[in-house]
Amino acid sequence: MATRKPKTSGGVVRRKPGSAKSGSSKTASRSTGPMFPTIEQIRLRAYELYLSRGATHGDEVEDWLNAERELMES
């Protein structure tokens, strides 16, 4: 039986918290747990943070990580 691979983004496997690999039931219900932000949402928020800092270069990674953290918390 073929198994589905989790979706990846940039080589990182993204799973909903609390999910586990399980092939025990074909009728397993899907959880409506927290959703992860999309790459586009993170990109847009990181750009907003960049602009709010005066559009100065050099902190792109920090902007990205802050954007990701903010979106995960909301």
CA gyration radius for the chain? Answer: 17
pLDDT at 67: 97
pLDDT at 71: 96
Residues 6+ apart with CB under 8 A from 49: 63, 66, 67
pLDDT at 1: 55
Mean pLDDT of the chain: 76
Contact 22, 28 (CB under 8 A): yes
Q: Which two tokens stand for residue 37?
A: 């932000």
- What are 4-63's pLDDT values in tens digits? 555 555 545 455 555 455 444 455 556 566 679 999 999 999 999 999 999 999 999 999
Give the Cα separation of 3 and 26 in Å (integer): 12
